[in-house]
Chain A
Amino acid sequence: MKIKLTFWRVVFVVIMVLGLYSSYIRYFHGLGAVSNMTDQFPWGLWIGFDCLCGVMLAAGGFCMVGAVYLFNVESLHSVVRPAVLTAFLGYVLFIVGLLFDLGRPWYIWHQLIYMNPHSVMFEVGMCVMTYTTVLFFEFLPNVFEALKWQTPIKWIKKIYPVLIVLGILLSTLHQSSLGSLYLIMPSKLHPFWYSPALPFFFFASAVAVGLAMTIFESTQSAKAFGRQLELPVLVTLGGALLVALWVNLLLRVEDYFHRGLLGQIFKPSYEAYFLWLELILTFAIPITILSFKKARLSPQWLYLASIFTVLGFITNRLNIALIGFETYVGHHYVPKWTEFSITLMIIAMGFALFGAAVKYLPIFGEEHEPAVHPSLPQNEVEAQRAFASPVLHNAGD
């Protein structure tokens, strides 16, 4: 077998080689050697991006499962599988990221025996662990279908309502709790980003990013795998995204209003520049785009709006995790190249695994009847048959 040398494959190999070198530094020379984290800045890029952003970027899974299976929005059915796949990979990679960031990753299982129920981190850890298992079961039918195993698909179908409710419950809990992590730092985190409402912001932004990521992913996969783009799906998601962005914006404005910061955020300062960047990317650009009906019906504009939304909320979480602490600490934190390199390696692994899954598993297969769909399709099929058969009878007469 000959592997074709393409630009992205070369990039992938370079990223992986550098990443492996950085991993060597991490595990054989320690956190001090691989990162610019210090006693003053104990959480760096890995917590800021790999963890906070990673979990947010994987939110498409619970958003789409919620829309399709919980609220029964049938029209979005085709995006559930890729969204669940992204979420599953996202959480697995989040755990991989943790293995780099934790000082003693070989004791990660201590979480299960030395539990501290007062700790937000404990709650996040347990939710992520359980939710990754739920996602695994939600993802499993893809594998069974590819292997043509019917019996286990039936089993999963039986527990599917439980998986759906459990998955959304766990997502609500840990998506918001990632924000609660910062509630204990009122004197350290800059007031632009510290708010008692952080858990609400984190949940609301996860929903917006979940929608945006699904638009992004569908468009991107359509390009990469030469699939037909389903415009009605994108249009539905775009409309929902616009609503989600407005909700996010209103929450933020109301929070600044209540804490009397509305005047301060417009005064130029180091933090204000980053806040402006965040607000422009998150709200100003995508809301403007999506406000035009023409843009809401155009795949290109929807794609663009989703990219800005995702970039905006990434900026938001990096501001919370990194920029918001610089004034307190008194100096800047700039990640070392090896930190970037490991983050890039994890992202590259995500893309590669996604590509492989799409290649070998029926993720986008339209020809496959959705295997793990609760009672509805059969009913519908039967209903249609019910309509069809008498007509045939009559025709016979």
Chain B
Amino acid sequence: MSKAILYDATMCIGCKQCEGACAQQNKLPYDDNVAAESVQSAHKYTVVLTKDDKFMRRLCMHCEKPACASVCPVGAFHKTSAGPVVYDVWKCIGCRYCMVACVFGQPKYEWQSLNPRVRKCIMCPDRVAEGRPTACAEICPTGATKYGERDDLISEAKERLRQNPSTYRPYIYGLNEVGGTSVFIIASNKAEDYGYPALAKIGDTPMPEYTGRVMERIPDFVPLWTLALGGIYWVSHRRDEVAAAEAEEKKQKLNGSGK
């Protein structure tokens, strides 16, 4: 069974302890200055945003069919069976295709480094493997960020929406976006207001399918096209051979008449 995170913005008090715990878990610097930064970056995998006194967390969505994993030429990203989309830094060549491909704009880059890495939330895979919750979920004082089984969290989110229809906007962000993710957001307002791309824009098709449709044709295309090219080559050069043979014939004829 795969794990997931449910973020309930209505329970969030904006204490940013998740940011601090995330930084500690990933050995990143965290102080008041970093806390004040309202964008994600190579040193800030998650951020709590504030708008009209309402909060919203941003983090990697851990897509069920992640674009970053499908586009990476060296397979540096992969989705583990436990849920997290993880990054093998030793494979990475630094092409940054993952950054361009991700609809949520999650992978960030160490632009100042001489041996730069791609950075993003990796859903504490070590903790997940040990059966412990992610650092952000563990520290959250109100339970706004909750860690658990993906299916259970989906049922729980639906239940909360059903029980408090006046509190919530009736929408679970992450359920259908790009074919489903492992992070779900429920809130009283729109996640789109905090920079999340709308379903209408990104659709419910898993991103890898867009390139997969073309890539899956290649194994058929290569032999057919090779055959066609070889055929064209043969035909166009056969003409010359025939011409040469005819010339040879003519020569013999001429020789014959000459005698």
Q: Measured between alpha carbons, how far is A118 from B76 in the docked complex, in Å? A: 13
Q: Within residues 213 to 259 of chain B, which ones have a CB less than 8 A from any CB in chain A?
A: 213-215, 218, 221-222, 225-226, 229-230, 232-233, 236-237, 239-241, 243-244, 247-248, 250-251, 254-255, 258
Asked if A269 lies at the interface with its beta carbon under 8 angstroms from chain B, I say no
Query: Could you say which of B211, B221, B239 contacts A72, with CB atoms under 8 Å apart?
Result: B239
> Of B109, B222, B254, which one neighbours A42 at CB under 8 angstroms?
B109
**Segment at the interface with B among A227-235, A291-299, A380-388:** A380-388
Q: Once the chains bind, are A374 and B100 in contact (CB under 8 Å)? A: no
Residues of the A chain whose Cβ atoms lie less than 8 Å from the Cβ of B94: 102-105, 107
Across-interface contacts of B213 in A (CB, < 8 A) = 183
Q: Is the CB of A120 within 8 A of B211?
A: yes
Contact A39/B41 with A102-B95, A183-B214 known, Cβ cut-off 8 Å: yes
Asked if B111 and A38 make an inter-chain contact with CB atoms under 8 angstroms apart, the answer reads: yes
Kindly identify which residue among A40, A43, A72, A180 contacts B236, using a CB–CB cutoff of 8 Å: A72
Assess whether B214 is in contact with A30, with CB atoms less than 8 Å apart: no
Q: Which of B55-63, B66-74, B167-175 contacts A (4 or more CB under 8 A)?
A: B66-74
B179: shortest Cβ distance to chain A, in Å? Answer: 13
- A110 and B197 in contact (CB under 8 A), knowing A119-B70, A389-B251? no
Binds A, one of B6-14, B112-120, B121-129, B186-194: B112-120
- Determine the chain A residues whose CB is within 8 A of the CB of B236 once the complex forms: 70-72
Report the bound CA distance from A394 to B240 in whole Å. 27
Q: What's the count of A-B pairs with C-beta under 8 Å?
A: 191
CB of B209, distance to nearest CB on chain A (Å)? 9
What is the 8 Å Cβ interface bit string for chain B, positions 71-113, against chain A (1 contact, 0 not)?
1111110000000000000011111110111010100110111
Tell me, yes or no, whether A140 is within 8 Å of chain B by CB: no
B99 touches A39 (CB 8 A): yes
CB distance from A72 to the nearest CB of B (A): 4
Q: When chains A and B are docked, how far (Å) is the Cα of A107 from the Cα of B91?
A: 8
Q: Which of A339-397 contact B (CB under 8 A)?
A: 374-376, 379-380, 382-383, 386-387, 389-390, 393-394, 397
Among A102, A121, A199, max chain B CB count under 10 A is at A121
Judged by a CB distance under 8 angstroms, whether B148 is at the interface is no
Bound Cα distance from A376 to B211, whole angstroms: 42
Q: Which 4 A-B pairs have the closest CB atoms?
A: A103-B94, A32-B111, A383-B247, A116-B75
12 inter-chain pairs at a CB distance below 8 angstroms, sorted by A residue, are A31-B111, A43-B100, A104-B115, A107-B74, A114-B74, A116-B75, A119-B97, A122-B74, A164-B229, A184-B101, A390-B251, A394-B258
